[in-house]
Chains A and B, each alone.
Chain A
Amino acid sequence: MTVALLHVGTGRTVVTAQGLRRWALVLGVALLLAAIPVAINLWPVHAKALDRISFSSSQPYSGYVQSAGLLGLPALPNLTQVTAPLSGTTEMRTWYASPRSWRVDVLGEGTERDLYQTPEAQYSWDFGDNQLIRIEGDQPVRLPRAADLTPPELVRWLLSAAEGDKVTGLAAKRVAGVDAPGLRLTPASPDTTVAHVDIWADPRHGLPLQAEITAKGGTRPVFVTRFLEIHFAAPGAAVLTPPAPRAGIGYTVTEAPDILGVINRRRPVSLPSSLAGYPRRDAVRGLSAAGVYGTGLSSFVVTALPGRFGAAAFGQISTYGQDVPAPSGSQAALIATGLLNLLVVRDPGRTYLVAGPVAPTLLERVATALAEAQT
């Protein structure tokens, strides 16, 4: 109303009533327009309780995904594409026809990074680098990437080994226009940092639409991924066809698209078969630079890093993190984000990077175990 009195303030005139009527009309329209999003939010949600989430990967879909992480990881060299989605907001478009045919675009302002899965190979396109990469063969070990953070992919990974964890029902929620019933998964393991994972899924297809991870000791979720738009129709073939290599854009063919793959191929290292009481779980053929220990939400990944890269990673982590006691001759540092914790162990011979949603106390035990395994 202060605005309405701008010139009425100079005194009432014969047209003041007219002016106030006009202002009332404008304010009414403004309020009406402002009320639309509020009304949509407050519209009651009706959905039956969800008793299961389908792991079926046969349901095609396409949509727009937004993930938001509050982990606050520092930018680690060569790993920004891993840390950025966990510490900020990532917007993605996704088209999914089948496990062997899908596409995820990571949208940036004025740029785009796309990942295509075709029956023959994977293709990654980076507009900023003007580079198309054809990735051939399996990737036994690879870094997590933004495409892993869409609700269906994340939930599939979170639930893949969640036996014994407690599942309770949650109030339904409207996600991307779908009235979605919810589930809460509370891990049983004491070593995980995850307090609970909340999942909302489409009641007809069982497709996860939203997932929220809340860390122990926190009230708000530290990582949220959700669909802002979802369509259950099968995407067209044109959308799933990667760009063709041509003059003017860079084109490479590789079997190891990221640093982990490169390390894995160049420097096979034997890792202990068990660490701090957790057995090595991954069944990668032969020697590997990376191993997964533990199950479900209390699993962690150990990677052996080669010399120069290892030194850089250690420098970075010890700058941002805190030192951890380690047997003499070794150094260890830890970055605790509440959910995902990073440990780096360095001894004269080798640098290990350990990451996982596990408690710092467990990681300290892992640091000791790794240092002792070396000596």
Chain B
Amino acid sequence: MIRTKDLTKRYGRTTAVDGVDLEVREGDRYGLLGPNGSGKTTLVRMLLGLVFATRGEIEVLGRPVPRRVREVLPSIGALVEGPGAYPNLSGRTNLAVFDAAGPGGRRRDRRARIDQALERVGLGGIDRRPVKAYSLGMRQRLGLAAALLRPPRLLILDEPTNGLDPRGIREVRDLLAELNRDGVTVFLSSHLLSEIDAFCSRVGVMDRGRLVVQDDLDDLRVPTGRVTLGTPTPERAVALLDGRVEHRAGEILTVRHDDPGALNAELVAAGVTVTAIAAERRTLEEVVLAATTGSSDRVERVEAA
């Protein structure tokens, strides 16, 4: 769906995006993770033909961008760096304006499509208030509705849950999952690890303009060689496992061991009651920390050589 090769964008002397080879496959729930300022938004803008690359190639839905971007944009729903709406118009009118602006989007079923999109994002009961009276969360939902006005094949969403409360985040996540089940490829960028972790099947990690990790989430979460187990008699377990316990927190123990099944058998054989046991996997956070070099918003003192 999206493929970039050596994609680079420089603003003067700063390099916002540096040699990115992105690959998003059809049906993916792709999460682009990176702190603010890591080049996510610039990357997203380049995919949509808003910003032009310094170097490199982009292909979206099989068409080269920006050369033939206008052929693919009608099949894309996008939310770029916060929602944009005309503050003096109502939400409904805003959607009508955006729908009428582009090609396609028949006039006859516009009202029905707008109602449907608003319903999907949870703004079904919206009144005629102008957008300037909306909360940030409502604007965010309106932006999502605009992206869904024409059934998209690809959703490109930049920080889609910004400004939403936990319940709203959950609703949006469910909506995206539903769309994804119907065959929509979802590409979302976020600086929130938990959000990517909860939704995405495939992850890319941006660090200072470079794409440092890009893989399926399952492949990233390799076992760490440790097993977490719960037991009502931790002392006996510690005594039995002698030195292999790395960490103890109440009745939860972390044990260095490759195979949870074997460990369980060993413990049960020794008469230790096991209430829970699971192989520990690398968390996404560990993946990110291992791949990135430092916090992008830290400003280190550079010692003169």
A–B contact (CB under 8 angstroms): yes
Give bound CA distance, A15 to B66, whole Å: 8
Alpha-carbon distance between A10 and B53 when the two chains are bound, in angstroms: 11
> Is A10 touching B66 in the complex (CB atoms < 8 A)?
no
Closest A residue, CB atoms, query B15: A11
Number of residues from B at the complex interface, CB < 8 A: 10
Q: How many residues of A contact B (CB 8 A)?
A: 6
Question: Digit string of B63-90 for contact with A (CB within 8 Å is 1, else 0)?
Answer: 0001000000000000000000000000
Interface membership of A14, Cβ < 8 A: yes
**Most central of B9, B10, B52, B66 by chain A CB within 10 Å:** B52
Interface string of B41-69 (1 = CB under 8 A from A): 00000000000111110000000001000
Contact for A15 among B9, B10, B52, CB less than 8 A: B52
Render A217-243 as a binary contact track against B, CB cut-off 8 A, 1 for contact.
Answer: 000000000000000000000000000
Determine whether the beta carbon of A14 is less than 8 Å from that of B66: yes
Q: Which of A11, A13, A14, A15 is within 8 Å of B12, CB to CB?
A: A11
What A residues does B52 contact at CB under 8 A? 13-15
In chain B, what residue has the closest Cβ to A12? B54
Q: Which residue of B lies closest to A13 (CB)?
A: B52
Within 8 A of A (CB), among B8-60: 9-12, 52-56
**A23 → chain B, closest Cβ, in Å?**
15
Contact with B along A5-25 (1 / 0, CB 8 A): 000001111110000000000
The residue of chain A having its C-beta at the shortest distance from the C-beta of B57 within the complex is: A14
In the complex, A11→B10 CA distance in Å?
7
- Name the A residues within 8 Å of B12 (CB-CB): 10-11
Contact A13 B53 (CB under 8 A): yes
List the A residue with the shortest CB-CB distance to B53.
A14
Residue of chain A at shortest CB distance from B55? A14
Other-chain residue from B11, B56, B66 in contact with A11 (beta carbon distance below 8 A)? B11
Given contacts A10-B11, A10-B12, A12-B54, 15 further A-B contacts (CB under 8 A): A11-B10, A11-B11, A11-B12, A11-B54, A13-B9, A13-B52, A13-B53, A13-B54, A14-B52, A14-B54, A14-B55, A14-B56, A14-B66, A15-B52, A15-B66
Query: 5 smallest A-B Cβ distances: which pairs?
Result: A13-B52, A15-B52, A11-B10, A14-B53, A13-B54
